[in-house]
Chains A and B, each alone.
Chain A
Amino acid sequence: MDNASWSIHRNIMTPVTEINEEMVFSLKKDRSPQEVKLLQLEWAVITQLDGEKSVGQIAENLALNGKEIREIFKKLNQENLLEIVERSDEDQTISPEFFEKLNHEMTYLLGPVAGIVMNDVLDVMRKDKNNFEKKYLASLVDMLTSQIDDPIKQIEFQKSIYKSVKSYLF
């Protein structure tokens, strides 16, 4: 499976007890590294943290050995600067209820052609609503919005489903 099809989500509650080279971290948004006294190499690791590179990749980039990189991550973790980014290839699809809501809102704005418009857009995207991945959700909304002529109704539509979209992406 390619990396692009992996879903990435945060699991802030998982305590990290041991660092291994496959782990991926990002910086916590509510805590700045500047609040902590760090050594030059620890700063170098901080600059590499992007929520995508693994501990092993960062070690390679900075020419550090396994022991060194684990020690640095252990310290950064103890300083409460890190969040683990969990990668999972489990099914990350949109529920049928969401499509019902989308259809309801589109019907309210476009009338009975809403279902046809929805199917046309899904055809263009080459996607199936029974197996629609979350990562394409905002693009779907974007394309459906473009099918509504009135700019005021476009915003009305987006506002009506924004909360649901957000719940899938956060």
Chain B
Amino acid sequence: MIKEFFKDLTQLDGVEGIALISKDNRMIDSWEAPNFDSKIFNEIGINYYQIFGVLEKSERDYHELVIQHEKGQIYTRQFQELFLLVIARMKVDTAFIRLSVNVVALDLIHSKKLQKILKKMPREGRNYLTRNYLDETEQAYFKKIKLT
């Protein structure tokens, strides 16, 4: 699916990995450059669920997050039932990643192939924090948290 919809990004110098991850952190599809370790996708995925979960709790509708680090950037785009991760070097223009995603996003979301995959997945709430990985103390902490 990634090669079909994000072919341009896979051919762009500096893009190292792309993944489509479902709301329960299941890998839908991924692509990575030859020297890239794909195991990192799920680890990053968990972190983004936490970030999006906290933002959702504070009623902030962020559909896109870009985190830059010393070696590159992680671009994340949230859709209703999944999110897209693009891991790229700093030299890749974030605006071009956004543009490449924008022009195919609707076609991807409405594609029969994706819909078929999503139908088989759990239809629980999007907020990952309320369901997984958090004990009662942590859940209580997040209930109280206030972002400014």
Contact = CB atoms under 8 A, between A and B. Distances in A.
B95 A29 contact: no
Interface of A: 8, 10, 26-27, 29, 31-34, 46-47, 49-52, 85, 135, 138-139, 141-142, 154-155, 158-159, 162, 165-166, 169-170
The 4 closest A-B pairs by CB, nearest first: A138-B95, A138-B96, A32-B34, A142-B95
Interface of B: 8, 10-14, 33-35, 89, 91, 93, 95-96, 98-100, 102-103, 105-106
Contacts of A47: 35
B35 A138 contact: no
B93 A138 contact: yes
21 contacts: A8-B91, A27-B34, A31-B34, A32-B34, A33-B34, A33-B35, A46-B35, A47-B35, A51-B89, A135-B93, A138-B93, A138-B95, A142-B95, A142-B98, A154-B102, A155-B106, A158-B99, A165-B96, A165-B99, A166-B8, A170-B11
Nearest to B34: A32
Question: Which DSSP category, helix, strand, loop or mixed, fits chain A's interface?
Answer: helix
A111 to B, nearest CB: 23
A29 B33 contact: yes
A158 B35 contact: no
A158 B12 contact: no
A50 B12 contact: no
A46 B91 CA distance: 19
Contacts of B33: 27, 29
A153 B89 CA distance: 31
Contacts of A139: 93, 95
Given A8-B13, A8-B91, A169-B12, 6 more contacts: A29-B11, A32-B34, A51-B14, A52-B89, A85-B13, A142-B99
Contacts of B96: 138, 165, 169
Contacts of A170: 8, 11-12
A48 B91 CA distance: 16
From B8, B96, B99, B106, residue with most partner A Cβ within 10 Å: B99
Nearest to A141: B99
Nearest to B94: A138
A166 B35 CA distance: 25
A34 to B, nearest CB: 7
Contact of B89 (A32, A50, A162): A50
A8 B68 CA distance: 21
B91 A52 contact: yes
A158 B99 CA distance: 7
Nearest to A26: B13
A29 B105 CA distance: 25
Contact of B103 (A34, A50, A162): A162
B35 A159 contact: no
Nearest to B8: A166
A141 B95 CA distance: 8
A61 B100 CA distance: 35
Contacts of A159: 103
